[in-house]
Chain A
Amino acid sequence: MSNPELKLQIKRLLVENLMLQTTPEEIADDISMFGPGGLGLDSVDALQLVVALDKNYGLKISDAEAARGILQNVNTIAAAIEQNLSDKSGTR
């Protein structure tokens, strides 16, 4: 899967699961997920996102520290998914 396609999928997942009042195309790859300058997600959104990423991509985010690193923006989420797929397939 090409990276731009994966990022668009993630943006769709964000809009659909978190009922964001925006379109996937309007979400920048590097916009922050949390805080007033970003998408404004909160801890409940993060919980939903963790479950959705596991369900859709098998990405397991096991602790808060890992979540803070992965759920920064679309770029970091895409990188974590690709790393996870790479680890599972045994490739580097």
Chain B
Amino acid sequence: MNPRVILITGANGGLGQAIARSFLQESPDNQIWLGIHARLDNAGKLAGEYPDHCRPIELDVTRPDSWKAAVAEILARHKRLDVLVNNAGNHQDALLAAMSLNSWQNILALNLDGVFHGCQAVLPTMIGQRHGRIINIASLSALLAPAGQANYAAAKAGVLALTQSLAKEVARIGITVNAICPGYVDTAALAMNEMERKQALEKIPMRRFGQPCEVAAAVRFLACGDASYITGSTLKIDGGIF
């Protein structure tokens, strides 16, 4: 497989790290750009392990100018960008009746606007190449809409709709756009106490949490040539939750 240029947002988190490592395993010649904002610890460590193939890049996904600068830096070095993984995200759970407007807006900005800005930033390059892969990390919350996650679920459901709409727009240009809905994945972002973990496990038919590498493998598949006829799809990775 030809080495590819890949940008992963939210690359300091457990899932972003696993996705980056998966692409490095696919081909040690892949060039991975680790989009990070504010925190560098994990991404910096990974870049230290693969100094010629892995670079952190400052990227506030909520700001179009930040995207523009990041994509310009990548293009200045490689002249192309093959894969964008919109992975950055966070949640601030609260019942809607008690949810602050600030919380609503912040979560929409990070989880939904960030994907919009990212796609806009890379599309001119991918259209010019007549090739590209965009993988949006949504969430099972987009499909189940749990109580206490009106902001996060709405944002992630928006990501699924954006994915499908954009997929139709750019299908004929050789660009695929797909979404992944992870369920309970064992990363720091899961942030559950023992009781909550026990209750969550009871909802999962496989009776275990997913591992970040299991989501990363799906991202890598959707980004590879074997997935060239898959676009506008949503792939659940959740141990069988319905």
Contacts and interface: CB of A to CB of B under 8 A. Distances in A.
Interface string B123-153: 0100110100000000000000000000000
B124 A48 contact: no
A44 B127 CA distance: 10
Contacts, number: 17
Interface string A45-64: 00110011011000000000
Contact-size category for A: under 10
A19 B171 CA distance: 14
Contacts of A55: 128
B200 interface: no
Contacts of A51: 124, 127-128
Contacts of B127: 47-48, 51
Interface in B205-227: none
Contacts of A17: 130
B73 interface: no
B172 interface: yes
B170 interface: yes
Contact of B170 (A44, A52, A54): A44
B173 interface: yes
A91 B173 CA distance: 37
B52 interface: no
Interface string A19-37: 1000000000000000000
A17 B169 CA distance: 16
A-B CB proximity, top 4 nearest: A51-B127, A55-B128, A51-B128, A51-B124
Interface of A: 17, 19, 44, 47-48, 51-52, 54-55
Interface of B: 124, 127-128, 130, 169-170, 172-173
Given A44-B170, A51-B124, 15 more contacts: A17-B130, A19-B172, A44-B169, A44-B172, A44-B173, A47-B127, A47-B169, A48-B127, A48-B173, A51-B127, A51-B128, A52-B128, A54-B124, A54-B128, A55-B128
